[in-house]
């Protein structure tokens, strides 16, 4: 069954291509081959301020680039988020993007006092592809994939997005060419399936 998919490219460097860009491109090719409709958001090319106050988060007006991103996320049935692991978490620019996009009124509504918020993005699924310099099993077993869990559970899950599946790609700096090609093939395959 064809899906509406949004590809969120979260690598903060817009001056050159990285493996995250190649993964996103291959996923998008696969999605198109699979009959899915895909739209892309390249966070590094967007202009938006970081949120600095709770007042701005709850009642401020999002800038135009963020409103457009919200429209794309609202349209999507499935989100694909690609980013490199920096200091155990997503890069700050991507975190700032999600803080802007997942605002009250769009991503959730506060419930009555003492009640859980209403999740406004329920029914959407997600795939998170993360590249990292360390072996992926070290990130999972030693560091318990803390940054990824916070993102998938506390940010995406809080808004109702689920299930969220993840693909962790370790040893990116020392990876051999055939290993890179294998990961690109896997990304393309996930795109074909809309996963």
Q: At what angle do helices 177-193 and 19-33 cross, to 10 degrees?
A: 40
Domain count, the chain: 1
Per-residue pLDDT of the chain (195 residues; tens, 9 = 90+): 899 999 999 999 999 999 999 999 999 999 999 999 999 999 999 999 999 999 999 999 999 999 999 999 999 999 999 999 999 899 999 999 999 999 999 999 987 766 678 899 999 999 999 999 998 888 888 888 888 999 998 899 999 999 999 999 999 999 999 999 999 999 999 999 999
Beta-strand ranges (E) seen in 49-150 are 78-84, 108-109, 118-119, 125-131
Return the pLDDT at 143: 82
**Do the bridges between strand 118-119 and strand 108-109 make them parallel or antiparallel, or are there none, so unpaired?**
antiparallel
Which helix (H) or strand (E) covers residue 20, if one does? helix 19-33
3-state secondary structure (DSSP) of residue 45: helix
Which structural domain, as residue segments, surrounds residue 33? 4-193
Token reading at 86:
């920096």
Return the pLDDT at 61: 92
CATH number at 128 reads 3.40.50.360
Beta-strand ranges (E) seen in 61-163 are 78-84, 108-109, 118-119, 125-131
Instruction: Report pTM.
Output: 0.93
């Amino acid at each position: 069954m064809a899906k509406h998919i949004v590809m969120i490219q979260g690598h903060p460097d817009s001056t050159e291509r990285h493996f995250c860009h190649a993964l996103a491109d291959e996923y998008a090719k696969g999605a198109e081959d699979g009959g899915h409709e895909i739209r892309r958001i390249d966070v590094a090319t967007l202009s938006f301020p970081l949120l600095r106050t709770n007042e701005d988060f709850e009642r401020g007006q999002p800038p135009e680039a963020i409103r457009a991103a919200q429209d794309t996320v609202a349209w999507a049935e499935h989100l694909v988020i690609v980013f490199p692991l920096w200091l155990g978490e997503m890069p700050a620019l991507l975190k700032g993007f999600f803080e802007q996009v997942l605002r009250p009124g769009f991503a959730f509504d506060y419930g009555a006092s003492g009640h859980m918020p209403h999740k406004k993005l329920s029914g959407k699924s997600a795939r998170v592809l993360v590249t990292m310099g360390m072996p992926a099993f070290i990130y999972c077993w030693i560091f318990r994939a803390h940054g990824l869990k916070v993102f998938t559970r506390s940010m995406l899950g809080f808004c109702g997005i689920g299930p969220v599946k993840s693909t962790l790609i370790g040893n990116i700096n020392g990876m051999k060419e055939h290993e890179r090609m294998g990961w690109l093939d896997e990304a393309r395959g996930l795109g074909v399936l809309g996963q």
